[in-house]
Structure 1
Amino acid sequence: MLHIKDSRITRVLLVVVLATVFLLASITAIWHASIQCQSRTSVGFLHSFGSELVDAAGCDVHLTGVNWFGFETNSFAPHGLETRNWQDMLNQIKQTGFDTIRLPFSNQLFNPSSKPQGINYRLNPDLKGLQGLALMDRIIQGARDLGLKIILDRHDTAADFQPELWYTDKVTEARWIHDWLVLARHYRGNDTVIGADLANEPRGPATWGDGNPRTDWRLAAERAGNAILAVNPDWLIIVEGIEQYHGDYYWWGGNLEGAGQFPVKLAKPDKLVYSAHDYGPEIYKQSWFRAPNYPHNLPSVWQQHWAYLQMENIAPVLLGEFGGRSVGTDPAGVWQRSLVVFLQKQGISYTYWAWNPDSGDTGGILQDNWTTVNQSKLHILSTHRRPLPGQQHSSPEGHSKNVDAFPNLYRWPRSK
C-alpha cells in the first residue's frame, strides 16, 4: 500500500511540475510577444482576428481617431484651412493623441469642376492649384509623415447631399463601385490608407438580409467590398449598419442587428469591420433616453444594436461617429461619458465626430477659433486612446517629402 501511495504522489508531482513548466513557458511567450508589440515602430495594414483588429505581427490594434470633414461639402477641401495651415492641423491631431482620421468625401469631389473653396493660400501656399484627388493626396501624405492612419468615408454622392441609399439616379451603383476601385488602386501599397467606409449612414428604405438588390445594403456591401479587395487586398472593408431592422428603429447607419443572422460575406473575411454611428439626446430624444432606468439601460441598448458583434467575438466594430456638445452631468453629457467608458471596457475602436468645430449638432474637439482644444471632451476621450506606433517622415523643416508618391493615378469620370 505504501508503494502504491508513493507512486500516486510521484505522478501528481510530475503533473504539477509539467503544468508549472507549461505555465512559465506560456507566460514567457506572452511576455516576449508583448515586448515585440510594444517595440514595433509601425503597424502597417490591419486585419481581424475574431473581434480584434491586429497588425501583420498579430499585435492588437485599437483605432482611436477623429473625423475631419469638408471634402464632402461644397468646399471640396477639409474645413479650417481658411484660418490654419494644413500641416499644423495634422500636427495638432497627432499631438492631442489621436491615431486615425476618418476622411469623408463625396463622389462629386473628383469631378473636374469641383474647385476647392475656403483655403487661405497665404497660409497654405503648397495647396494652390490642387483639387480633388491631388488635394486628398497631399493631406494623406501629411498624415503619413506623422504616422497617422486614414479611413476613407464615402459620405455623400454630391456635395452636401447624403442619399438614403448608396446610390442615386445620377451616381449609380456602378459609379459608386468604380470610384472606390479608382481609390483602391490609387492607394494600393500605401499603408497610411487602411480602409474604405463604403457608404455613410444607409437609412430609410435600406434593408438588411431580405435579398432585394435595390435596397439590401448587406448585398451591396458585398458587391463593392469584394470588388475593392480584388484590386487592393490590404484594405479593411468597413460596413455601416442601417436605420431599422424588422421594425426596430435606431440611429442612421447604427443598426447592425441583422449582421448576426445575415453577415457580410467577403472573399477575405478577415478584412471585414462593421461600423455603427451613435448619438445622444442633443440630436434626438430617442425612447431609451426617456426610460426610467436611464442611463443604466445604455449598455444593453448598444449591445443589442451593434456592440454584440464585438462582444460575441463575431467581428470588429468601429464606432465611426459619436459626439455631442455636452460632457457634463446633464443627460447628454452622461450619455457621452457612459459611451466612452463602454468603448474602453469592450476595446472598441472609434473615430469621434468631429475634429471640426463647425458641426452644428455636436461641435468638435476644436473650439470655434479652430485652434483651441475643448479640454473637457479631450479629457473623457483620453481614457480610451491608444496611439499607434509610427515613424516620423517629415523633413527638419516640417514639410512633407515625396508628396506626389502615388504614380498609379487613374482618370475619374466626368460629371454625369
Structure 2
Amino acid sequence: MAAALIAASVMTFAGVAAQPATARTDAAAAHTTAATAGTTGTAPAATAAAGAGYWHTSGREILDSANQPVRIAGVNWFGFETSNDVVHGLWSRDYKSMMDQMKSLGYNTIRLPYSDDIFKPGTMPNSINFYQMNTDLQGLTSLQVMDKIVDYAGSIGLKVILDRHRPDAGGQSALWYTSTVPESTWINDLKAIATRYQGNPAVVGIDLHNEPHDPACWGCGDTTIDWRLAAERGGNAVLSVNPSLLIFVEGVQTFNGSSYWWGGNLQGAGQYPVQLSVANRVVYSAHDYATSVASQPWFTDPSFPSNMAGIWDKNWGYLFNQNIAPVWVGEFGTTLSATTDQVWLKTLVSYLRPTSTYGGDSYQWTFWSWNPDSGDTGGILKDDWNSVDTVKDGYLTSIKAPAFGGGGGGGGGDSSPPTAPTNVAATVTTSSSVALSWTASTDNVGVTGYDIYRGSTLAGTSAGTTFTDSGLTPSTAYTYTVKAYDAAGNLSAASAAVSATTQGGGSNAGCTAAYTVSNQWNNGFTAAVTITNSGTAATHSWKVTWTWPGGQQVSNAWNATEAHSGQSETFTAVSSDAVVAPGGTTSFGFQASYNGTNPAPTPVCTAS
C-alpha cells in the first residue's frame, strides 16, 4: 500500500495525503459477477489438494502443476519495505505462531512487501523480540529472515508472493526507479530474489512494483514512463533466471485521461497486453480501497453501490470477464468505520465470487492487511497483535480458500441457503429510476445481503431491504426479482417478480464532449474524448459525432464503438460506459492517422 500510516516506532508510509481523489476501492460480489463474467454454469469448488508445484495461467484461471485451478486468498504482511527491514509484529509474537494463525483463519497466501534496501550487504532486521520467541531468527540478515518465513510457509501449506513495494524504505515511488535506485538496480534485485528461491514452489511469483502512478503511463511508448514496457523488461529478467514464477503486474493511475486508484487502472491492458518471454505467466493486479483511505466520487454517486460493478469492470474486471488473464486484487482494505466502507466491502467481496460456488474460477486476492499498524485500514489482527478483528475477518469468509498442500482454512461448512425475500414492491418510480423494498429473508447463520435482478441482469446488491435502480429509460416496463445470500455464498431462490414502469421522460438528459490529442508523431496520433453528463438524470447511453476537418482516419478505438463514413465519425457507448451520473464523466480514446496538418474536430455529444 502506498499510503498506510504505520504506527508506533515504524516508518510512515508515504503517499496517502498526496494521492489524488482518484485512487482506491473495496468489497462484496462473489456470486454477483456470474451475470457479467460469461459464466454459464456452476464451477466446482477448489479442492484442498490443489496448489502443488509451480503455477501457470490459462485464460482467467491460475492452474497448479497438475492443471487444477487454484485460488489465492490471502493477506498482506508488511514490514520488509520499512526501516525495520522485517515483517512487523515480531516485537510481540513468534513468526510461526502468526503464520499458523493465518492458516487457521482460512488464508492461504502471504503477499510479502519488501524494498531494495534488503539487498544491501549486511542489512539487518530490527524490532524483533528474541525472548522465548523467534529464537531461530537471532543473528540473521533481513534476507535470511525472509528465507525462514518462506520455508515455514511452504511447510504448512501457505504460498508467498514477493512484492517489490518500494525502491527504498523512504517511501513509495511513482515509477519503478528513482534518482538513487536506477532501473538497473531494480532489474538486478528482481533477478537476485528470483534466483534465491529457485526450486522452492512456496514462492509462486513476484509483484514487480507496487502502485505505479502518474506520471507512469500504460502503452504510451515512452520507455522512461511506460509501465507496461518496464513490466516486460522486469518480468523477462525474472523469467530468465526462474522461468517457473508467475509475474504479477499492477496497473497505473491514469489511462487516456481516466483516473483511478494508484495501481488500480488496468484499462490499457486489453489493448496493450504485457507480453513475456515465457507464455502463461502474467497475472494482472489491481488495488482498490474505500473512504478510510480517500474519498472518491463513486462513493457519493446516488447509484452507489450498484455503480461499483461497472467501475470495477471498466478498470480491471473486464480482463477476467473476457477470459483475457487472471486478475488478483493485491490490496483492498478499510477500517470499516464508515457505513459506506461497510457497504463497499460487502459489494466487493460479492464481486470477487464465492469459493463455494466458483472455486478457482474466481478473482484472486490478498487483503490489506494482516498488520494492525496500517493507519488508514487497520488489520485482521487488533492492536495487541493476537486478537482477531472478527467483524473484518468475517466479511471475507465466503472468498477464503483452503491452504495448499494439506488442509486448513476455508469458510466453514454452511451449505444452507437463506429463504427467498418476500413482499417485493416498487415504491417510487421516476423517468430514470425504480425504488424497491422487500421483507428480509432468514438464514440458519445470517443473511449477508441481497442481489437485485432486472430481468435476468444483475442490477446491483444491497446490504439492507431497499434498493434503487437508476439509469433507466423513460416510459419503459421493467421486471425485478431479489435473491438473498449468506456469508458462505449460499444464494436463495428468487422472490416473486414485481413489475414497474418508469415515468415519461423530459429534456433531462444531455452531455458535452471534450477532445484532446494525447500523443502525436509523423502521420499518426492518439486522442481522448471526455464526456460530461450536463443533464439532470443519468444517461442510458450516449453518442459522439463529428466531421474531420482534415484527412484523419481512425484505425482503432477503445471504451467506445467506432464507425465512420467518409469524414463523418460516430462513437457510441459500450455497456460499461453507457451510464453516466449527472455531473459525472467517462472517456474513450482512439488511434488515427493524418496527412499534413492535424486540426481538431468539433465533437457533438447526444445523450439518451
TM range (shorter): 0.7 to 0.9
**What is the identity, as a one-letter code, of the residue corresponding to 2:128?**
I
For residue 273 of structure 2, what is the aligned residue in structure 1? Answer: 263
Shift in alpha-carbon separation, 1:388–1:87, aligned structure 2, 3 A: closer
CA–CA distance in 2 between the matches of 1:41 and 1:258? 32
Equivalent residue in structure 1 for 2:237, among 220, 227, 240: 227
**3-state DSSP class of the match of 1:105?**
strand
For residue 200 of structure 1, what is the aligned residue in structure 2? Answer: 210
For residue 478 of structure 2, what is the aligned residue in structure 1? Answer: none
For residue 64 of structure 1, what is the aligned residue in structure 2? Answer: 73
For residue 344 of structure 1, what is the aligned residue in structure 2? Answer: 353
For residue 401 of structure 1, what is the aligned residue in structure 2? Answer: none
CA–CA distance in 2 between the matches of 1:320 and 1:34? 24
Contact 2:74 2:110 in 1 (8 A): yes
How far does the alpha carbon of each residue in 1:351-408 deviate from its partner, in whole angstroms, 9 at most, with x for none? 000000000000000000000001111111011111133149xxxxxxxxxxxxxxxx
Contact 2:48 2:403 in 1 (8 A): no
TM-score of the pair, normalised by structure 1: 0.83
Equivalent residue in structure 2 for 1:134, among 124, 138, 144: 144
Structure 1: gaps of 5 or more residues: 1-32, 393-416
Contact 1:316 1:348 in 2 (8 A): yes
**What is the identity, as a one-letter code, of the residue corresponding to 1:314?**
I
How far does the alpha carbon of each residue in 1:196-221 deviate from its partner, in whole angstroms, 9 at most, with x for none? 10000000200000110100000000
CA–CA distance in 2 between the matches of 1:39 and 1:76? 33
For residue 63 of structure 2, what is the aligned residue in structure 1? Answer: 54
How far does the alpha carbon of each residue in 1:131-189 deviate from its partner, in whole angstroms, 9 at most, with x for none? 12111101111111111000000001111411110001111111101001011111111
CA–CA distance in 2 between the matches of 1:62 and 1:176? 29
For residue 404 of structure 2, what is the aligned residue in structure 1? Answer: 389
CA–CA distance in 2 between the matches of 1:390 and 1:39? 7
Contact 2:352 2:363 in 1 (8 A): yes
Deviation at 1:39, TM superposition (A): 6.8
CA–CA distance in 2 between the matches of 1:79 and 1:38? 32
For residue 333 of structure 1, what is the aligned residue in structure 2? Answer: 342
Task: State the superposition RMSD in angstroms.
Answer: 1.7
Contact 2:51 2:70 in 1 (8 A): no
The higher relative CO (CA closer than 8 Å, separation ≥ 6) is in 1
Contact 1:43 1:390 in 2 (8 A): yes
How far does the alpha carbon of each residue in 1:270-311 deviate from its partner, in whole angstroms, 9 at most, with x for none? 000000000012211111111110111000000100111011
For 1:4-83, what aligned pairs fall within 5 Å after superposition?
38=47, 40=49, 42-83=51-92
For 1:14-413, what aligned pairs fall within 5 Å after superposition?
38=47, 40=49, 42-122=51-131, 123-326=133-336, 330-344=339-353, 347-391=362-406
**3-state DSSP class of the match of 1:336?**
helix
Deviation at 1:40, TM superposition (A): 3.2
More helix by share: 1
**What is the identity, as a one-letter code, of the residue corresponding to 2:223?**
P
TM-score of the pair, normalised by structure 2: 0.57
Contact 1:327 1:376 in 2 (8 A): no
**What is the identity, as a one-letter code, of the residue corresponding to 1:356?**
N
**What is the identity, as a one-letter code, of the residue corresponding to 2:379?**
G
For residue 453 of structure 2, what is the aligned residue in structure 1? Answer: none
Deviation at 1:41, TM superposition (A): 6.5
Deviation at 1:47, TM superposition (A): 0.8
CA–CA distance in 2 between the matches of 1:92 and 1:40? 20
Shift in alpha-carbon separation, 1:143–1:160, aligned structure 2, 3 A: farther
Structure 2: gaps of 5 or more residues: 1-42, 355-360, 408-608
Contact 1:41 1:390 in 2 (8 A): yes
CA–CA distance in 1 between the matches of 2:140 and 2:341? 40
Deviation at 1:231, TM superposition (A): 1.2
CA–CA distance in 2 between the matches of 1:339 and 1:34? 22
CA–CA distance in 1 between the matches of 2:230 and 2:48? 40
Matched residue pairs, number?
Answer: 358
More strand by share: 2
Q: How many percent identity over aligned positions?
A: 47
Contact 2:157 2:405 in 1 (8 A): yes
Deviation at 1:59, TM superposition (A): 1.0
Deviation at 1:115, TM superposition (A): 2.2
CA–CA distance in 1 between the matches of 2:98 and 2:403? 18
Shift in alpha-carbon separation, 1:303–1:39, aligned structure 2, 3 A: closer
CA–CA distance in 2 between the matches of 1:146 and 1:160? 33
Q: Post-superposition, which runs of at least 4 consecutive aligned residues in structure 1 deviate over 4 A? A: none
Contact 1:51 1:309 in 2 (8 A): yes
**What is the identity, as a one-letter code, of the residue corresponding to 1:349?**
Q
